[in-house]
Structure 1
């Protein structure tokens, strides 16, 4: 147990910063994953509104 106290005090701060940053990245990756899924679904579903948007954009 006496061996762990210096290790925790020496490496505790970098470990906490790393865990905090990993948590933030995880949330952003979840959002990105949801966006990619919704993009894939919208590309799979052809609709008339998409054709209308293309026609309006080219006009």
Structure 2
């Protein structure tokens, strides 16, 4: 019975670990998605700033 109890405890720990891993994986996926979104936005803003600099930097003929 000691062995059975130990195995039950181990199984319970594994279930908890599996749930924690799944939760952590969801957080990681969401973080990566947010970082991609932020990077895309930053690149667009950088392109806008660069184009404004180019437009305002040109002298009228």
- Which ranges of structure 1 fall in alignment gaps of 5 or more residues? 49-59
Q: Secondary structure at the match of 2:39?
A: helix
In terms of Rg, which structure is larger?
A: 2
Q: Indicate the residue corresponding to 2:55 in structure 1.
A: 42
TM-score (normalizing by structure 1): 0.62
1:19 matched to 2:9 = no
Instruction: State the 1:9 CA deviation.
Output: 2.0
Q: Secondary structure at the match of 2:59?
A: coil
Aligned CA RMSD, in angstroms, stands at 1.8
Query: How far, CA to CA, are the matches of 1:8 and 1:46 in structure 2?
Result: 59
- Which ranges of structure 2 fall in alignment gaps of 5 or more residues? 1-13
**Structure 1 residue runs of 4 or more that deviate by more than 3 Å after TM superposition:** 5-8
